[in-house]
Amino acid sequence: MSCTENESGPFVVFFLPAVVGCLTILLARRWANSQVSNTSSTAVSRRRKIIKDPLIKRPLPPIACKMMPPGSKKASGVNKKGALPVPDEEMNGGGKRIGRPARTPPTTAPTVNLPDVKLAEGPVAPKHIPFPYIPQDGTLLFEAMTFVFTLVATGLQFLNLYRTAWWLPHSYTNQAMNFYLIDPHLVAFIVTIISRKLLLSICLAILRFVIAPKLIPHATIAARMFILGVVLGALSWCTYFIMLKYPMVKIFYLCYPAVIYFLLFGLQSSPFLELNNADPPLHCCTHDAAQIRTEVEALRQDFNVRMKKIIFNSVVGAYYSSFIPCCFAQSYLYYEVYAASQQTAFVWAGLFARYVSQLVSAHYCDVPHRAAAHLGRWRPDNNFTESNEVPTWCADRMFSRGARVSLDGRYYIAVTPTVAADPANVVHGRFHTVFANPSLLLCGTLCLQLSLIVLQLCLLFSSIQWHNFLAIVILLFINYYTLFKMVRDYLVAWKVYKAENMIQDKNGSLQPVSN
């Protein structure tokens, strides 16, 4: 319907939808208010309606907060000076309050001396603060940035080896590098090694868009097998042509990380293709001491596997991008060993910091921290006298701060509010030391990254040769990004655990000492 054919056209096209929308909004708002008013008459629902409903214009009733000892009757049965006695409220069969007379507020606020409240026996459970959400790099983005960083580092090392004096007026070349001296099969081998995880990440990202979610697990297994076959085939093809040109000792240099891989991970293929394919660990708050120790053991193994992956991937990235080009350099080639070693060290440190910020982030450390709070810690009691009776440590019991136990002829004292650890197990003490306050661990990694950047800046201002200057400048970019992530994680973790320690200290001060 057009406006020229019918004069009611503009009203139908423009005004009628607006009128219908306004009516819909009004009806929806009225229905929502009716739902609020029809809620149950419990104390919680009434409190929520009084506080949150802006349509009800009535003042809040006066609430008298009073501490009463456990087991005592209501305060309404106690006569106070200057106040009328308030009878107890009665409940009828339908759950409604009846016989409630109007209360008159007291004219004075008398002081009542209450008896001391008896504290509950046993250790006080630790209080956990929900850790805020910190955005992390996705798998595809992280692998893409790591691949670019390692590829650029490889090019910079080749620049250190095969650079030319192309700016001289009588130079026989106009290129910055002698490309004819670089073995293309060696370059293909290096690129295949450093791009293996990126290829799998791209393949899995494509599969998630084109395959139904229920088929993703089977497609992931097929993609891993396909990428593994492609990578191993490409590496075998490159190795064959490299063997025709170089002696066997250099082939051993080329395949040496494979020996380290089998020693660390065995015959598993997932650590070779993926940085972390396991589900993130979860924490279960429990008062069962045996379950707490089992959870701590699982988290400890997960942390050890992550550290193995961090060390292996950082070493492999620096090894193939910076060390292998030096090993396969021609015997007649002269290059600065100091500059090549410096490049290798910087690449390894940058990759190590990147993997640490990704695998051991502040959000990950919060789960072992909660388990460490339940685990607790023992300390050898050297001031013990044999006249005191000390119970033997029990594996099924939780202990509180100050408790003393004996185990294998030695005596221990609990130094944390809750203790479920084995006094003779050194692993439990080490786990609690590392994750009792993860902000210290994050601060240590932050200091190492900051030291690396300061060292690179010092070398940058003292460097004279152009290729060293260019290498340091380019490597600094990725290190700045890693520094930003570490500073953010540390500041958030420091604030959270500082508040949590204040709560723990407050609860611990109210806890009685038990033996």
Helix crossing, 362-375 with 466-509: angle to 10°?
30
Contact yes or no for 514/418 (Cβ under 8 A): no
Q: State the Cα–Cα distance between residues 156 and 469, nearest whole angstrom.
A: 11
Nearest to 305 by CA among 254, 270, 257: 270
Nearest to 72 by CA among 101, 105, 112: 112
Q: State the Cα–Cα distance between residues 242 and 184, nearest whole angstrom.
A: 10
Residues whose CB is less than 8 angstroms from the CB of residue 471 and which lie 6 or more positions away in sequence, other chains included: 156, 159, 160, 343, 346
Instruction: Report how far apart the first and last C-alpha atoms of the chain are (Å, whole number).
Output: 88
Contact yes or no for 96/46 (Cβ under 8 A): no
How many residues in total does the chain contain? 515
What is the maximal distance between C-alpha atoms in the chain? Answer: 110
Burial label for 80, CB within 10 Å (0-12, 13-18, 19+), is: middle
Grouping H, G, I as helix, E, B as strand and the rest as coil, residue 490 is helix
pLDDT for residue 108: 42
Q: State the Cα–Cα distance between residues 413 and 379, nearest whole angstrom.
A: 5
Nearest to 32 by CA among 18, 59, 53: 53
pLDDT for residue 213: 87
Q: State the Cα–Cα distance between residues 353 and 197, nearest whole angstrom.
A: 18
Contact yes or no for 364/475 (Cβ under 8 A): no
pLDDT for residue 309: 94
Burial 273-307 (b: 16+ CB within 10 A, else e): bbbbeeeeeebeeeeebeebbebbeebbebbebbe
**Residues facing residue 72 across a β-bridge:** none
Contact yes or no for 138/310 (Cβ under 8 A): no
Mode of pairing for the β-strands spanning 410-414 and 378-380 = antiparallel
Contact yes or no for 288/370 (Cβ under 8 A): no
Residues whose CB is less than 8 angstroms from the CB of residue 109 and which lie 6 or more positions away in sequence, other chains included: none
DSSP secondary structure letters along 323-373: IHHHHTS-TT----HHHHHHHHHHHHHHHHHHHHHHHS-HHHHHHHHHHHH
Residue with tokens 């589900």: 279
| Cα distances (angstroms) measured from residue 365 to each of 170, 291, 369 | 60, 20, 6
pLDDT for residue 68: 46
Which tokens is 83 given?
């106040």
DSSP state of 123: P
CB atoms within 10 A of CB 506: 10
Using 50 as the pLDDT threshold, list the residues of the chain that sit under it. 1-14, 32, 35-58, 60-120, 512-515
pLDDT for residue 282: 81
Burial label for 2, CB within 10 Å (0-12, 13-18, 19+), is: exposed
**Helix, strand, coil content of the chain in percent (nearest 5):** 60, 5, 35
Q: State the Cα–Cα distance between residues 414 and 515, nearest whole angstrom.
A: 10
- Residue 99 falls in which region: left (phi positive, over 0), alpha (psi -120 to 50) or beta: left
**Residues facing residue 414 across a β-bridge:** 378
